[in-house]
Structure 1
Amino acid sequence: MNRETEDGGRARVRRWAVDLAILVAIGLLMGFLGPFESAHLPAGPRYLYWMICMVGGGVIGVAADEFPGRRPAGLWTRAFAVSLLTTPLVTLLVLTTQHGLFGGPFGWSGYRMLLWQVFPILLAVMAVRALVWRSPPARIETRTVIAPPLPEAEATFRRRLSAKRRGARLIALEAHDHYVKVHTDAGVELIALRFADALQDLSRAHGWRVHRSWWVAADAVEAVRWRRGAGEVHLIGGLKVPTSRTHGPVLKQAGWF
């Protein structure tokens, strides 16, 4: 026996264990509620009756649902079809249990009357089971992939920095009157430069102007928060940069919100 067969066998055992647990829980609930005039019965026989009916009838339904072959598509269609198909056999089980435990009549008239009681209960049981085993909705994740910046795209701007930060990783630029504060992973540096000129130097770099006073490097963005026409960009190193309604669309186009 290969590994794949063993895993498949274990999965079937676990699935049946969960199914039996569901049926036992429903049987206990029905014994507690005592529907269809069973509430007047003593507790012991009442619980025994509902456990036999719910577990036994449920096993018949589960076996039919798991039987190899073409199955109806759709959650509710499948539950309805299995319930309709197995109701006659489950009704026979219920009738036999009533006759054996309580000495009730065993005949066609009683069987016909039970059919209309068994079907809705069996349908509810199969619907609960179908919901438990339903496949989770497909989850599609999108992620923005940022290509590393081309060295020549930042070369002009980097020549304006001190030797200590010329080779550092750019994180953001912040406008300060006729100066620009440059945030890097090697610290912050203030240089005498108009913000417009800094943007011109970095026009081919991987980054975005997200505010009238801020430019951020694309590969430094960790998260974007957007609410009611304004937002905030979270950058590496814990830096948080405001995002305006005017410049927010560039982040939306990049897939950040």
Structure 2
Amino acid sequence: MKRPCLQSTLRELHLVVKAPRLWATFATVVLVFWVVGPYGTLERLAAVPRLGFWLVLHAATWAIAITSAVLANGLLRERIASGFARMMLGAGVAGVPIGLVTSAMGAATFSVTPTTGDILADIITGFFLSQLFCVLTWMTTNAQAAQQLTDASIVASPLGGDQTPADAVPETEKGRVPLLLRLKPANRGQPLRLTVSDHYTEVTTSAGRELILLRFADALGELGPVPGLQVHRSHWVADAHVARILRENGRIAILLNDGGEVPVSRTYAAAVRQRWG
């Protein structure tokens, strides 16, 4: 697996596992299985061993399903448009290891040797359970995003100051700048700056700042007619956001209207001088 994909997968896993709603759902499911005691566990196991059995089994199967779903979401991002479809596909693949883990735990706990039919039945059950876990994961991830939590997967923060109606981008302009449609509605202002952050691109607009899971080259391609210039392998700046050029010891940088500075690499130095003098 490529390192950027691994990084994005780990970030998405971090988003999922830190969600209180997911842990609350996990605890509820474990308690239900403990009390009801399906598959003969109520009759064959005492209360404490039964709780331990379902806790370990669910921890293992949920971990497999969620990891597989998030991994598929990262690997298939450029091939399948729907994030939900990507994760459900990954969860479906997880049905096999979930079924095998279930059979192994049952054999170890009850000292029985599972038949081929038993293993196939566990795999089928694991498939449906992994789909359920994937749905819960998807719902949890979207709940986190809706609450605008500060996270590696999606970060949004206002730039500060009052926004005037002139900062807003008309609907016709949004259609010409596809990149804006990837942002939360509150952040869809005039594009001012793009910055690389691992496998992500930080998009700064006149309305806010947001980190999106998109390659820098693809983000540049979705800027449409916005006037600006790539000044570094990791930076793009809009004309409207340039205050002046800074020169020091033979190196140049760009002073932005918000007081920030952007380095200019030698590859783009001539173009920067020609454009902004």
The verdict on a shared fold, with TM-score over 0.5 as the criterion, is no
TM-score range, shorter chain: 0.3 to 0.5
Q: Which structure is higher in RCO with an 8 Å CA cutoff and minimum separation 6? A: 2
